[in-house]
Amino acid sequence: MKLTILGSYSATPHVDKAPTAQLLEIRGHRFLIDCGEGTQVRLRQHKVKFSHIKHIFISHLHGDHFYGLPGLISTFRLLGREAPLHIHGPKGIKEAILLLLKLADSWTNYPLHFHELDDKDSVLLYADDQVEVTTIPLKHRIYTNGFLFKELPGLRKINKIATDKHQIDISQFHKLKLGEDVEDDQGQIIANSKLTLDPSAPRSYAFCSDTAYFPELANAVQGVDVMYHESTFLEDRKDLALKTYHSTAKQAAMIAKQAQIGQLLLGHFSSRYNSLDPFLEEAKTVFENVQLASDGMVYDFE
């Protein structure tokens, strides 16, 4: 499980900082989360194979989270994509994209599936036997969701030393992985617990951008391993944060503490701050295990 920060800043343009976009690699998936202007160039910089992206999750329809999507969809077409692309985002996203494709007379030659959202409560967006993705309803100026990515419990691991000792045939391994007991060569039943090890603990990642501070958010992200939370402002601009439905570094840390998460990543910094050190300092007064997201940063969950 690996997270690449493609863009860590808020809306106004920077020469060397991009607006919000992240790539989450989880159990063989590559999920793109938000897609600010220039995301496709960032993907190129990180040598991401475009064809590996099958699901894109858009938190809300402000430009710094969304205006890179039309170009990326066009690029997929130019690259000859055939695999379906799933776009999960607020109601209206389909109308916008289809209008742009119509005006360009450039319909995709691959299936484009829109999954539009307008639920106020958390909903399941994607699930297979490995991973589950749900929304985290946020409080922003327009309808906005964060996303919770959860690995599902994996299969039990074969304890090779034990299976050799008990002479368990390889044909029984599938049963063992599922947690079942098996028979040895002499027809004797061996308990699963003697032959297997616990699976790796499933990990979880919460993406929360953009949002005003509201304490109930902690319930939705309770105990996650890593949470990205926006911190557009510091406490010196708490009023402005309130007015614009954004958070301060301290407020993000308060959610982290209350939810007892593992690690907090801060991002979506306002360009009014020349130094980001105060974001770290302010958050640490509340929650110790915090890092600043930065463009190009690769966070390894191992």
- Angle at 256 (CA atoms; ends 134, 149), nearest 5 degrees: 20
| Phi, psi of 237, deg, nearest 5 | -120, 35
**How many angstroms separate the CA atoms of 23 and 46, rounded?**
10
Between 194 and 272, CB nearer to a copy of itself:
272
The residue ranges that bind a copy of itself (CB under 8 A) are 11-15, 37-38, 40-41, 43-45, 61-64, 67-68, 70-71, 74-75, 78-79, 90, 92-93, 95-96, 99-100, 103-106, 141-142
Cβ proximity to a copy of itself, 7 vs 146, nearer residue: 7
Q: Which is nearer to a copy of itself, 73 or 261 (CB)?
A: 73
Residue 34 CB partners (closer than 8 Å, separation 6+): 20, 21, 22, 57, 58, 59, 65, 66, 207, 209
* Number of Cβ atoms within 10 Å of the Cβ of 54: 15
| Least separation in angstroms between CB 93 and a copy of itself | 8
Q: How far is the CB of 252 from a copy of itself (least distance, A)?
A: 22
| Shorter beta-carbon distance to a copy of itself: residue 141 or 157 | 141
- Nearest approach in angstroms of CB 134 to a copy of itself is 23
Q: In angstroms, what is the minimal distance from the CB of 95 to a copy of itself?
A: 7
Residues 6+ apart with CB under 8 A from 8: 17, 18, 20, 267, 268, 269, 292, 293, 294, 295, 297
Contact 136, 122 (CB under 8 A): yes
How many C-beta neighbours within 10 Å does residue 244 have? 16
C-beta closer to a copy of itself: residue 12 or 222: 12
Closest separation between CB of residue 251 and a copy of itself, Å?
A: 22
Give the residue numbers marked as catalytic: 64
